[in-house]
Amino acid sequence: MKKIILVLCWVGLVACGGENTNTVDYSNLLPPTDTGPYGDNIVRCVSIANVSDSCTLNELPPIGLNHANPSIDDVMERVVVSHSWMRERMRDLLAIMPAEMFLLLRATTAIVIHQDIRPAHYRLETGAIYIDPGYLWLTNEEKATINKKMDFRVEYGSDLQFREVGRLVINNQYPAKGYSLTGTEERTIDEILVSVSGLFYHELVHANDCMPPSEYDNLRLAKSFQQNLDDIMNQDQCVHQQLVAQFPLTSSVWQGLSDVLYQGGSSSAAQRKFTPADVGSEFGADMATATYSFSSEWEDTAMAFESVLMKYSFDADLDVVIVPNFDLSSDDITCEQLVIKWGQRGRLGDPNVMARSQLVIAAILPDLDLEDFYAAQPAPIQITPDTSFCTLDYTSTLPTADASVSITEAKQRVRNSVFKREHRF
């Protein structure tokens, strides 16, 4: 019975994992202040509870049907929020986000930011992306308006021997400090730019997966977004379908573990015997960008895209590391105890991983010339086993003053990765 439930869940949105994200009460959504031709429809169209209530493209089309090169104002006509500061933050972020973001935004119908959204996700029946405001706050006043509920996925895989962690590093440093929603720290917009851009790249790949620019002329305005997507999927025109057809992932071990880690499935006795080194070696032998790639074909596609654009836009490398499992609430663990048993930095430099990413980028952003970028990618760095997770510079196994972080910061990074499972569909 569980498998049936999961299939139905993936039809509706990309970030299921066992909880119905559609249960958010959107009755307090504020319509756009930059009112465009669809301003009267947006709140209703993005708040639907049932596929049967989906709006047609005449009522709310993808941004790209009206704007081949959307401006900030064009995008802001499609932003709905629960609190006005969220709208202001979105406008400020659009002013400093990479230019490629606007091309990706063409495939979505709206940006929804609401106090209760967690995790962020994309809904197939609305064509909108739903953003967790935990990524957006700057002040304590803004933070106070956000629901601080734990991501329901936090306990997934807690009985396994390992935790898998993905983290972004720029020049051997975190792009910004990790903050908790329950703390009193404040931050600047520059501190959130990288993480928010990664979030948007990821969710917008979902929007573009079955709605690449090549499909715009084939859309039927009298049909709903979901019906148009169904037509495209039935013709095998989605990017994830092309990726799986040409470069399928093969690890049965990780396909099984993904059900436990990302969908909340129960672990087997065999899975509980896997050591961190076992699962790391198994992962490294396949072509996935990240462990989350195994959670679905949609996520596989999003990870393949996101890693390229984050490196291209910010020179941000993705670390994929496996550490022994530990109690996230514990204050006793030290940097010497939190060690990497398997890890790589920059898997994009693996020719097989890169080939998969090239397919995805070419389908979604066909005019983006990355030939020189791809040629410049170095081989992945294999992290020496038993290197401290607090270490960020892998030219040395010992933490140094300018290339390491405190255990408090290291644990917060693991918590953030596990709590959010990043910003996945």
Task: Give the tens place of pLDDT for each residue, 187-219.
Answer: 999 999 999 999 999 999 999 999 988 899 999
Q: How far apart are CA 390 and CA 135, in angstroms?
A: 23
Q: Is 57 domain-assigned?
A: yes
What is the distance between the alpha carbons of residues 197 and 5, in angstroms, rounded to a whole number?
Answer: 32
Residue 262 lies in a domain: yes
- Residue 409: pLDDT band with limits 50, 70, 90: low
Q: Report whether 301 contacts 205 (CB < 8 A).
A: yes
| Mean of pLDDT values over 179-187 | 90
CA neighbor of 398 nearest in space, from 318, 331, 339: 339
311 and 387 assigned to the same domain? yes
Could you tell me the two tokens for 162? 């390992």
Do 170 and 137 lie in one domain? The reply is no
Domain contains 425: no
pLDDT surpasses 50 at 18:
no
What DSSP character marks residue 66? T
- Separation of alpha carbons 197 and 105, rounded Å: 12
The per-residue pLDDT for 152 is 63
pLDDT at residue 378 greater than cutoff 60: yes
In this model, does residue 321 exceed pLDDT 90? yes
Q: Does a structural domain hold residue 224?
A: yes
Average pLDDT of every residue of the chain: 88
Res 33 pLDDT > 90: no
> Residue 399 — pLDDT band, cuts 50, 70, 90?
very low
Do both 129 and 198 map to the same domain?
A: no
Looking at the predicted structure, is the pLDDT value of residue 423 above 80? no
Distance from C-alpha of 233 to C-alpha of 173, rounded to nearest angstrom: 41
Lowest mean pLDDT among 80-84, 298-302, 346-350, 409-413: 409-413
On whether residue 156 sits in a domain, the answer given is no
**DSSP for 59-113?**
TS--GGGT-SS--HHHHHTTEEESSHHHHHHHHHHHTTS-THHHHHGGG-S-EEE
In a domain, 148, yes or no: no
393 and 340 Cβ atoms separated by less than 8 Å: no
Q: Is the pLDDT of residue 233 over 70?
A: yes
Decide if 56 is inside a domain: yes
Q: Which two tokens stand for residue 276?
A: 């961190």
Residues 298, 219 share a domain? yes
* DSSP three-state, residue 354: helix
**Angle CA 274–277–279, to nearest 5:** 55
Asked which of 25-34, 193-202, 334-343 is least confident by mean pLDDT, the reply is 334-343
* Contact assessment for residue 274 and residue 251, using Cβ atoms and an 8 Å cutoff: no
> What pLDDT is attached to residue 180?
84
Residues 338-354 have a mean pLDDT of 96
Task: Judge if 65 and 204 occupy the same domain.
Answer: no
Residues 171 and 265 in one domain: yes
395 or 358, which is more confident? 358
Q: How many Å apart are CA 16 and CA 41, to the nearest integer?
A: 26
Secondary structure of residue 320 in the 3-state scheme: strand
Say whether pLDDT at 294 is over 60: yes
Query: Distance (Å, rounded) from C-alpha 292 to C-alpha 425?
Result: 11
Which CA distances in Å does 286 have to 74, 368, 377? 41, 27, 19
Pull the structure tokens for residue 77. 């006509």
Residues 350 and 209 grouped into a single domain: yes
Does residue 406 surpass a pLDDT of 70?
no
Together in a domain, 392 and 256: yes
Q: What is the pLDDT of residues 306-318, one digit of tens each?
A: 999 999 999 999 9
User: What is the rounded CA–CA span in Å between residue 85 and residue 75?
Assistant: 16
Q: With a cut of 90, say whether residue 131 has pLDDT above it.
A: yes
Tell me the residue range of the domain where 285 lies.
162-420
Looking at the domain assignment, is residue 155 inside a domain?
no
pLDDT digits (tens, 9 = 90+) for 72-117: 999 999 999 999 999 999 999 999 999 999 999 999 999 999 999 9
Is residue 45's pLDDT more than 70? yes
Contact 142, 148 (CB under 8 A): no
Of 17-21, 198-202, 389-393, minimum mean pLDDT range = 17-21
Q: What percent of the chain has pLDDT over 70?
A: 85
Give the number of domains in the chain. 2
pLDDT (average), residues 359-375: 97
- Quick one: angle between helices 276-284 and 252-263, nearest 10? 120
3-state helix/strand/coil string of 360-404: HHHHHCCCCCCHHHHHCCCCCEECCCCEECCECCCCCCCCCCCCE
Per-residue confidence (pLDDT) for residue 80, from 0 to 100: 97
Helix, strand and coil percent figures for the chain, each rounded to 5: 45, 10, 45
Same domain, 120 and 169: no
For residues 370 and 267, state if they share a domain: yes
CA distance 73 to 35: 10
In a shared domain, residues 172 and 252: yes
Mean pLDDT, range 354-370, rounded to an integer: 97
**Best-predicted range by mean pLDDT among 10-24, 318-332, 380-394?**
380-394
What is the CB-side half-sphere exposure of residue 111 using CA atoms within 13 A? 30
Which are the contacts of 389, defined by CB distance < 8 A and separation ≥ 6? 165, 321, 323, 335, 338, 339, 340, 410, 413, 414
CA distance 170 to 176: 10
Q: Quick one: 132 and 220 in the same domain? A: no
